[in-house]
């Protein structure tokens, strides 16, 4: 083998060994050396900032409540309020979707009824039918 190729291969092997040893024994991580943070560190930092923000907002809110002579709120009170708001939001969403579904059902039913020459079914009739759980008679089916 050519002596120049041996020197180059030896230098390459020494460089790889030096980089590997440097990585093994240098304190810290490569991310730290580049000024970056791991995903876990970013998440922990965000959670700490969120907790600090919550404490500051709750303190300010309670200060205003004290000035008005009202009782202070705790974190659990706020969490309960959020849960109640989410439940109300879910209830409204379900009611809206049920209303939309009834509207679509009435459109399809009334289109078939018009094709047969029958009068259209109203919202009140459909609601009464579905709320009672009853079946329409054979003349009303459509």
Residue 114 near residue 90, CB atoms below 8 Å:
no
Spell 96-111 as b/e; 16+ CB within 10 A means b: eeeeeeeeeebeebbe
Instruction: Walk along the chain (142 residues) and give the pLDDT tens digit of each residue.
Output: 789 999 999 999 999 999 888 878 877 777 777 778 888 999 999 999 999 999 999 999 999 999 999 999 998 998 999 999 999 999 999 999 999 999 999 999 999 999 999 999 998 888 888 777 655 554 444 4
pTM to 2 decimal places: 0.50
């Amino acid at each position: 083998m050519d002596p120049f190729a041996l020197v180059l291969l030896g230098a390459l092997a020494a460089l790889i060994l030096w980089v590997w040893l440097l990585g093994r024994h240098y304190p810290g991580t490569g991310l730290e050396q580049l000024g970056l943070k791991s995903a876990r560190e970013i998440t922990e930092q965000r959670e700490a900032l969120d907790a600090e923000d919550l404490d500051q907002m709750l303190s300010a809110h309670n200060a205003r409540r004290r000035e008005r002579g009202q009782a202070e709120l705790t974190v659990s009170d706020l969490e309960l309020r959020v849960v109640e708001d989410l439940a109300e939001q879910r209830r409204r969403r379900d009611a809206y979707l049920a209303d939309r579904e009834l509207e679509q059902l009435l459109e399809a039913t009334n289109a078939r009824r018009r094709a047969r020459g029958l009068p259209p079914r109203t919202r009140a009739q459909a609601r009464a039918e579905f709320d009672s759980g009853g079946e329409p008679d054979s003349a009303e089916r459509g």
